[in-house]
Each structure stands twice: as C-alpha cells, then as structure tokens.
C-alpha cells in the first residue's frame, strides 16, 4: 500500500515528535489537536528541534524549510477524509481513544490504516470500536521520538498481514527500528520498565535508600543512562500510575500493584517535570 499523507492526532510531546519524523521522511503531514493553540505549541517545538539541527550543521536552513512545508495544522477530525494513515497520539485513556477511532472509522477513506501510539492499552479493544479491525495496529514510539530508534509494532487480533507489512516498511523510512510485539498489556517495553520503576518507588517508600541513592545504584551499577525515579519524573507520574493500573487490571497479578507513594504523589499533583515537582524539584 502506498502511503503519502499521514495525519497525527495529538500535538503534545509524542505527537509533535511523530509528526516531525514523518515530515523529515518526506510524508505530507497533518498535525491535529483540539485547539489551535495546542497545534501551534507542537509546531513551535518541531521548529525548535530542527533549528538545533541547523545550528549543529546536521541540516541546512533550506532542508529545515522543506520539512516545515510538509506540515499542515489541523483542528478538525474531518481533515482525515483524504489521508492514507492516521497515527493517534492522544491521552492514554481507553474511553478517549475508542471514541476517536470510532469517529475516524466514519471519516477516513476505506483504504486508510488507523494506528495508535498507545504505550499499554489493548489494540484489539481499540480496533473493536471500528468496522475495520483488520486495518488497526499499534505503533508505539519511544520518547523523545526524534532521538529514540525503537518502534514497537503491535498486531491486534484481526490486524491484516498486509497492514503490518506496510507499517513495518513506513517505520524503516522514518529511520526507526520496528519490533513486532503481540497484544498484551504493556506490550514489552512498559511491561518490563514500569514494574522496575514501581519497585524503585517501593524502595523509597520503605526507606531502603534516598531517591538519589536509588538512582545512583541503577545508573552506576546497571549502566542505565538515568535513574528510575528521574525517568519516572520525565515520563510523568500520572502516566506511570495509569500504566501500572493497566498492567494490574490486565493480568490480575499483585506484582503489578502500584506503590501507594506513587498514588499519593499523583493525588498531590506532583506529576514530575511537567508540573515542576515529582520525586525531584524542577525549575
């Protein structure tokens, strides 16, 4: 299948990053969000990222302009009427995602593939909100998208082989590495990562060590680029909690029970870097 026009839904950190790499690969990209100010913010982040590449002489100013010309702002879902692929990067909430997919199913052309950037929710359930479950697939990018190479590609129960192959090929054109994963809660990345972060929070909660010490052990002892508590702050503690709850509910196993300290921080509004405070304080 020939994909030329892509719509990215959600202009936040993930969505703007996905739109950027798609535009860099030469695709015509619609960046969609609920409000114009959200889209503008996403586009300004893309410009900032590309500007940095120009300053480092990794691309020319002309190349940057060409990439920006591939991007079109959008605030209406009806703009999906003539696209070949839609990548949804909205908030990690099943109700919101199924509503979006149900609407897209009505609007998007019959050949269009509907992909979700969900980090933990079942693709099969998202696909069930449409009349084209064979054309629904998971495309889980890593954060920050322009830098990280991995894309987990998740087949739903009904995902067609041709659709999987198309998405794998597109992922390679984005200069990313596709890895096929089956549809289980948390897939591979978050099923392994989040319990580690949760366990790090438990060690803090139980007074085993200070937050600095826990992060230092994992950085120096396990060669992780950043400690798990710092990483949790960067991901967002609300997102960490939501994924742990998805794992806990999906598997019904208490080893995925979210740490009470994580719940307390989220209730306090200490969500990490984005709110200026999580396990650490930020300017």
Domain segments of the chain: what residues?
A: 5-181, 190-273
198 carries an active-site annotation = no
274 marked among binding-site residues: yes
111 carries an active-site annotation = no
Instruction: Provide the CATH topology of domain 5-181.
Output: Rossmann fold (3.40.50)
Query: Of the listed 16, 32, 120, 190, which one is catalytic?
Result: 190
Q: What is the pLDDT of residue 1?
A: 82
Read out DSSP for 125-137? HHHTTSS-GGGEE
Q: What is the pLDDT of residue 283?
A: 83
152 carries an active-site annotation = yes
110 marked among binding-site residues: no
Of 283, 273, 209, 211, the C-alpha closest to 239 is: 273
Q: What is the pLDDT of residue 151?
A: 98
140 carries an active-site annotation = yes
pTM exceeds 0.85: yes
pLDDT digits (tens, 9 = 90+) for 92-121: 899 999 999 999 999 999 999 999 999 999
Q: What is the pLDDT of residue 207?
A: 98
Residues of the chain with pLDDT under 50: none
Kindly report the CA angle at 7 between 19 and 18, in degrees rounded to 5?
20
Query: Of the listed 16, 117, 140, 198, which one is catalytic?
Result: 140
Specify the long-range contacts of residues 168-177, CB closer than 8 Å, at least 24 apart: 170/3, 170/85, 171/139, 173/25, 173/26, 174/21, 174/22, 174/24, 174/25, 175/21, 175/25, 175/149, 176/21, 176/141, 176/149, 176/150, 176/151, 177/149, 177/150, 177/151
49 marked among binding-site residues: no
Q: What is the pLDDT of residue 5?
A: 98
15 marked among binding-site residues: yes
Cβ burial of 246 (10 Å; 0-12, 13-18, 19+) is buried
Residue 24 three-state SS: helix
11 marked among binding-site residues: yes
Locate 155 and state its tokens: 């087949």
Q: What is the pLDDT of residue 195?
A: 98
Q: What is the pLDDT of residue 67?
A: 98
13 marked among binding-site residues: yes
33 marked among binding-site residues: yes
Pick the CATH number of 190-273 from 2.40.10.340, 3.40.50.2300, 1.10.1040.10, 3.40.50.2000: 1.10.1040.10
Query: Of the listed 49, 74, 116, 119, which one is catalytic?
Result: 119
Query: Of the listed 49, 88, 117, 152, which one is catalytic?
Result: 152
């Amino acid at each position: 299948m020939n994909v030329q026009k892509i719509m990215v839904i959600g202009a936040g950190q993930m969505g703007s990053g996905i739109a950027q790499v798609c535009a860099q690969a030469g695709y015509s990209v619609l960046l969609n969000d609920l409000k114009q100010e959200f889209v503008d913010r996403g586009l300004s982040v893309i410009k900032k990222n590309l500007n940095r590449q120009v300053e480092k002489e990794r691309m020319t100013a002309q190349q940057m302009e060409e990439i920006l010309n591939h991007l079109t702002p959008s605030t209406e879902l009806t703009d999906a009427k003539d696209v070949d692929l839609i990548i949804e990067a909205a908030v990690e909430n099943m109700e919101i995602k199924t509503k979006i997919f149900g609407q897209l199913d009505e609007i998007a052309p019959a050949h269009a593939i509907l992909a979700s950037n969900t980090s933990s929710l079942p693709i099969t359930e998202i696909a069930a909100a449409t009349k084209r479950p064979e054309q629904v697939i998971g495309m889980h990018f890593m954060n920050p998208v322009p830098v990280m190479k991995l894309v987990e590609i998740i087949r739903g129960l009904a995902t067609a082989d041709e659709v999987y192959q198309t998405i794998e090929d597109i992922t390679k054109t984005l200069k990313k590495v596709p890895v096929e994963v089956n549809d289980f809660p948390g897939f591979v990345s978050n099923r392994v990562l989040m319990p580690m972060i949760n366990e790090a929070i438990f060690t803090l909660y139980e007074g085993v060590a200070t937050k600095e010490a826990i992060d230092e052990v994992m950085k120096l002892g396990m060669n992780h680029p950043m400690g798990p508590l710092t990483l949790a702050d960067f991901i967002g503690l609300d997102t960490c909690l939501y994924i742990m709850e998805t794992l806990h509910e999906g598997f019904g196993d208490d080893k995925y029970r979210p740490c009470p300290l994580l719940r307390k921080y989220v209730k306090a509004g200490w969500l990490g870097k984005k709110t200026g405070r999580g396990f650490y304080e930020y300017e």
